[in-house]
């Protein structure tokens, strides 16, 4: 499954403080996410997004929020995607030496049919411009095709760093 996510964002650099965290940016824009497949395997949605970035020492917090742009019943190939993906997610990163630890939490905020998603990741140095990467994912929306299926996955890989 290959998912595409073009977006148009207005990035505003900020400098304010909230609860001891420095507000660093606000992104406002439009986001399209799709898997590029034809029916019956097509999945896509369009969203208005607002993202907020905060820092404190080696800690970074990113709040991603979205609101789905409604589609007609004839055009909508995943009408219940909000029930699984919710309206936002929280990313927390901690940098220690050359290691990066990440945690993502997403929840649909439906108390009757609550669906949460968690992703934990770690990147660590291997050689000069390459880091190793380990990721654990549990929840919904790991891919658009199976957005409504609970998935548990472990991923291994590498990251090519800036030259």
Residue of 22, 26, 29 whose CA lies nearest to 46? 29
Active-site position among 34, 42, 116, 143 = 34
Active-site position among 15, 32, 38, 131 = 32
Residues 114-145, buried b or exposed e (16+ Cβ, 10 A)? ebebebebebeeeeeeebebebebebbbbebb
Which token pair is 97? 């030496």
Q: Please list, in sequence order, all residues whose beta carbon lies within 8 angstroms of the beta carbon of residue 20, skipping any fewer than 6 positions away.
A: 56
Q: How far from each other are the two terminal CA atoms of the chain, in whole angstroms? A: 30
Is 116 tagged catalytic? Answer: no
Find out whether 9 and 36 touch, Cβ atoms under 8 Å.
no
Is 34 tagged catalytic? Answer: yes
Hey, which residues are catalytic here? 32, 34
């Amino acid at each position: 499954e290959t998912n595409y996510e073009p977006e148009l964002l207005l990035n505003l650099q900020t400098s304010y403080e909230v609860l001891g965290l420095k507000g660093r940016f606000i992104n406002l824009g439009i986001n399209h996410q799709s898997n590029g497949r034809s029916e019956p395997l097509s999945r896509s949605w369009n969203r208005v997004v607002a993202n907020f970035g905060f820092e404190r020492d080696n800690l970074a917090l990113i709040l991603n929020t979205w609101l789905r742009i409604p589609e007609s019943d004839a055009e909508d190939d995943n009408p219940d995607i909000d029930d699984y993906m919710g309206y936002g997610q929280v990313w927390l990163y901690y940098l220690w030496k050359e290691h990066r630890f990440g945690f993502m939490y997403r929840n649909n905020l439906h108390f009757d049919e609550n669906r949460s998603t968690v992703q934990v990741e770690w990147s660590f140095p291997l050689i000069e411009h390459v880091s190793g990467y380990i990721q654990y994912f549990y929840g919904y929306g790991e891919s658009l095709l199976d957005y409504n299926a609970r998935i548990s996955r472990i991923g291994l890989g590498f990251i090519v760093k800036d030259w």
